Structure 1
């Protein structure tokens, strides 16, 4: 793995830790993870092989990414206050994110440090034709996890009440109600 590979992989894993503290849900909340996976895709995703069972591998990992992304989005807390939305990744969301992004990084480290022969044997046995199929599968898994998580957060955020929250009896119209 190159230094850029390490930085990119670690950045993808650490993105969720930014959301362990509650923060405002805004354009940057979507832009940072999308920017990182767009960079990864442009750097590594040159082709999606379709021979043999390459698409089965890609489909399986894309499916895993979708499940992790949707589940992570569902387990992210979103609340409205004073006209703004706030987001906080829960423990389940964080674990799912690290699991998905960490799996890709762990696989790459394993292949680089002794696992290449095992992957080659698995590939031959299961008719996976090139290393490009593995690259495409993991990059598309990461991209799918990010997009589905952000989509789940976006859809859920549209249903959150953003109006100011006032304790009972302190709403600006409460005084009018008492004088009537």
Structure 2
């Protein structure tokens, strides 16, 4: 792994740790992780192979990324404080994020330190045509995890923000005397 690989992988893991303490849900919440994965996609994703079972591998890892992203977004607390939405990643969200991002990093380290032959045998047996299929699968898995987590947080944030006016109205509405 290059220094850029290490920095990028660690940055992706640290994104969720930044959210372990409560902070405002704002544009930075979305732009920082999207910027990192856009950089990763631009750097590592040359093409998306479609031969053999390459798309099956890519689709399977993207599905894993989507499941991790949605679950991570669901396990992120979002609440209203005054005029702002606050966000805090829970322990489950952090574990899922590290699991997803760490899997890619772990796979890359394993391949570089003795696992390449095993991956080659698996690829031949399952008709995965190139190492670019593995690169595309893991990059798109990370991208899918980030996008689905952020989409889930965005949607949940909108739901929380829309419920808040109802809660304020219910607390301030006069109580009607129905006995009269």
Scaled by the length of structure 2, the TM-score of the pair is 0.90
* Equivalent-residue separation in structure 1 for 2:13 and 2:110 (angstroms): 17
Alignment partner of 1:160: what SS? helix
Q: Flag structure 2 segments of 5+ consecutive residues without an equivalent.
A: 175-180
Match of 1:83 in 2: 83
SS at match of 2:160: coil
Q: Which has the higher helix share?
A: 2
Give runs of aligned pairs for residues 9-48 of structure 1, distance below 5 A.
Answer: 9-48=9-48
Q: How far did 1:160 drift?
A: 1.1
Q: Does 1:135 align with 2:97?
A: no
Cα RMSD between the aligned structures?
1.7
Instruction: State TM-score, norm by structure 1.
Output: 0.90
Structure 1's unaligned 5+ residue stretches are 175-180
Tell me which stretches of 4 or more aligned residues in structure 1 moved more than 2 Å.
Answer: none
1:81, CA displacement in angstroms?
1.1
Alignment match, 2:177:
none
C-alpha separation between the residues in 2 aligned to 1:42 and 1:159? Answer: 33
Task: List aligned pairs for 1:85-104, cutoff 5 A.
Answer: 85-104=85-104
The number of equivalent residue pairs is 169
Deviation per CA, 1:94-143: give whole Å up to 9, x if none.
Answer: 00000000000000000011100000000000000000000000000000
